[in-house]
Amino acid sequence: GAVVSQHPSWVICKSGTSVKIECRSLDFQATTMFWYRQFPKQSLMLMATSNEGSKATYEQGVEKDKFLINHASLTLSTLTVTSAHPEDSSFYICSARNRDRETGELFFGEGSRLTVL
């Protein structure tokens, strides 16, 4: 299989604090992981592309200093929301592609629902 695990599933934090979300590929190596954000009743919006061993590529309008991405190994990428504010409350989903599969399908983590008070 191809399992992507994301942690935590739910997090509530106070405004101004930082939150780290982990994304792990459990049974395959992922040179590239993607971070998406989804607001209620909207589709997934790509935030950034995370390549192992190099800097992440951010989509237009996404602040790289606010959403820190680290992809230190072939199985782990982290997203840190720094100085979170209520407008950052959203469903954050990571995904990874198995580099050994040709179809290129994305496998998604379970998602992390962030609520900033």
Partner 1 sequence: GQNIDQPTEMTATEGAIVQINCTYQTSGFNGLFWYQQHAGEAPTFLSYNVLDGLEEKGRFSSFLSRSKGYSYLLLKELQMKDSASYLCAVSDAYSGAGSYQLTFGKGTKLSVIP
27 lies in the site for partner 1, by CB under 8 A: no
Please write down the long-range contacts of 80-83, taking CB distance under 8 Å and 24 or more positions apart.
80/18, 80/19, 80/20, 80/21, 81/18, 81/19, 81/20, 81/21, 81/114, 82/18, 83/16, 83/17, 83/18
Binds partner 1 (CB under 8 A): choice among 11, 70, 89, 110: 110
Residues 29-48 that bind partner 1 (CB under 8 A): 31-32, 34, 42-46
Q: How far apart are CA 58 and CA 41, in angstroms?
A: 23
22 lies in the site for partner 1, by CB under 8 A: no
Number of residues that bind partner 1 (CB under 8 A): 29
Binding site for partner 1 (CB under 8 A): 6, 31-32, 34, 42-46, 49, 51-52, 54, 57, 91, 93, 95, 97, 99, 103-111, 113
